[in-house]
Every structure is written in C-alpha cells, then in structure tokens.
C-alpha cells in the first residue's frame, strides 16, 4: 500500500439549497489513523461520498498527495457501515470481490487473499458462506476485502456500528492491533466516542449543520491502547463528548 496524504481545504456541499458542509478543513498524513465524529445528520458520510467521487463539492478543494483529487481516481478503499457480503458467494470469493471488479482474475485474486486469512482470524472459513459466520467474523472479512485492494487510504464508515457492544469492543481491539502492525492510512467515520479515542491519532469533531470542524483533538497516546481502565483514554473521550454536548446547547 503506497503512502499518501489527504487534505480537504474549505470544502462545502449543499443539497436542495440547504448547506450540509461549510468550510471543512482537515488532513490525514500517511500512516495516520484519523476519525471524524459529529451529531447525527451533520454530514459525516457526505465527506466520504465526496472522497469516493459519488458526490462533487460545491466549493473548496480536495487534494491527494499534493495534487487536486480526480473524482475517477482509485486512491480509496471503502468499507460501508454493514459488511455488504454477498450471501451466495463463499467468504474467499467475497474477499476477492474488489480485486475482481478492478480486473484481477479470480485465480490471481484468490492467490493474493489466501495468505491473509490467518492474520484476519478467518483461516478455515474460506469455503463458508456469510450466514455461517458471526458478526465479528463478517466484519473482518469485509475489512480484508477492503485492505487487499491495496489502495493508499482506507475509508471506514461506522464499520462496527451494527455489532453488539461486546463484539464491537473486541473488534475495536483487533483493529487497533492490526493497524499497529500495518500502519494503514485510515479515515474513520464513527458515532462511538470511545472508539475514536481508542483508535485515533487525531479526532475531528463536527458541529451541527451546516457542519464545520468545531474542534481538532490530537490523541498523543501510544498504540495499541487499553480498552478499559485508562485515565488518558477516558480524558480524550470526555473532551470529545464535551465538544459534542456544547454543540447541542
């Protein structure tokens, strides 16, 4: 995966005359894990849609690796809120889907994905169907499908939001360990304040609509971080919550 930087400068977006994003400024350095949190409906997912080219900004500029982003570029691998695994395809063929769409033959895609199954905790489940896996395993398969595409930046949109609390906590810990090992460049959209504090190098807190970056909170803590009992993580979590609550007053 090639390292590259991402920057949004003064980005705005409106729908039907209603401003959703207003003067968004943020950056993600190569190898960073950056999160965006904000009130419901603030436009967090709209930012991802602008990056993937599903939407175009009304103003401002998105730059990738120092140059303006081309909407048809292939810099990002996107993981949606739900695993979106195809129920009729075996897990190995679900994880190769992004490669096949990009023109890689099924045989070559399988050869690339197969060595990663053990690292993602899926060894022995290659021939299973999605319905035969737990929620956490399905999410690991979805992340494997995302990572194996080899794109410079991973865009994660509430990847664990549909999981129960215990499974979500386990997946957060697993993702933290995997990121520490691989140092992917990640932009995470999340409603989970603890998730942002546990995983991020920096957290951008959006205001209500029209959304601006209300606060940028650095997280200068070593990775991986303890899931419980850490006063430093709790302090970051509290700082994020205070900013969000201020927006609701």
Q: CA 58 → CA 18, 54, 61, 208, 241, distances in Å?
A: 12, 13, 9, 19, 30
Can you tell me which residue has the tokens 């599903």?
54
Q: For the whole model, what pTM was predicted?
A: 0.91
C-alpha span between 243 and 237 (Å, rounded): 10
Residue 42 has pLDDT above 90, yes or no: no
pLDDT, greater one: 162 or 43: 43
C-alpha span between 142 and 15 (Å, rounded): 30
Percentage of residues of the chain with pLDDT beyond 90:
66
C-alpha span between 100 and 108 (Å, rounded): 9
Contact 171, 198 (CB under 8 A): no
Q: What mean pLDDT do residues 121-129 have? A: 95
How high is the mean pLDDT of the chain? 90
What would the two tokens of residue 92 be? 């190995």
Q: Which fold has domain 1-75+154-249?
A: Rossmann fold (3.40.50)
pLDDT digits (tens, 9 = 90+) for 97-113: 999 988 999 999 999 99
Residue 16 has pLDDT above 70, yes or no: yes
Beta-strand runs (E) in 132-201: 153-157, 185-189
Using 50, 70 and 90 to split pLDDT, how confident is the model at 2? very low
Residue 80 has pLDDT above 70, yes or no: yes
Using 50, 70 and 90 to split pLDDT, how confident is the model at 91? very high
- Burial letters 169-185, b for 16+ CB under 10 A, else e: bebbbbbbebbeeeebb
**What is the model's pLDDT at position 69?**
87
Percentage of residues of the chain with pLDDT beyond 70:
97
């Amino acid at each position: 995966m090639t390292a590259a930087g991402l920057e949004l400068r003064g980005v705005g977006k409106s729908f039907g005359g209603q401003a959703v994003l207003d003067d968004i400024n943020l950056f993600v350095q190569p190898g960073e894990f950056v999160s965006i949190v904000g009130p419901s409906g603030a436009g967090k997912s709209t930012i991802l849609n602008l990056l993937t080219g599903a939407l175009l900004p009304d103003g401002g500029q998105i730059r990738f690796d120092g140059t303006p982003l081309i909407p048809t570029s292939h810099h990002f691998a996107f993981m949606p809120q739900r695993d979106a695994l195809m129920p009729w395809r075996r897990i190995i063929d679900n994880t190769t889907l992004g490669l096949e769409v990009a023109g890689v033959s099924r045989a070559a895609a399988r050869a690339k994905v197969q060595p990663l199954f053990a690292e993602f905790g899926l060894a022995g489940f290659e021939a299973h169907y999605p319905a035969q896996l737990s929620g956490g395993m399905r999410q690991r398969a979805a992340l494997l499908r995302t990572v194996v595409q080899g794109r410079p930046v991973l865009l994660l949109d509430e990847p664990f939001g549909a999981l129960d609390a215990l499974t979500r906590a386990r997946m957060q810990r697993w993702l933290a360990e995997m990121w520490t090992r691989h140092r992917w460049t990640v932009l995470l959209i999340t409603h989970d304040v603890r998730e942002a504090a546990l995983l991020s190098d920096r957290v951008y807190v959006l205001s209500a609509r029209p959304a601006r970056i209300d606060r940028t909170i650095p997280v200068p803590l070593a990775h991986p971080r303890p899931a419980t009992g850490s006063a430093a993580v709790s302090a970051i979590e509290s700082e994020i919550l205070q900013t969000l609550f201020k927006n609701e007053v």
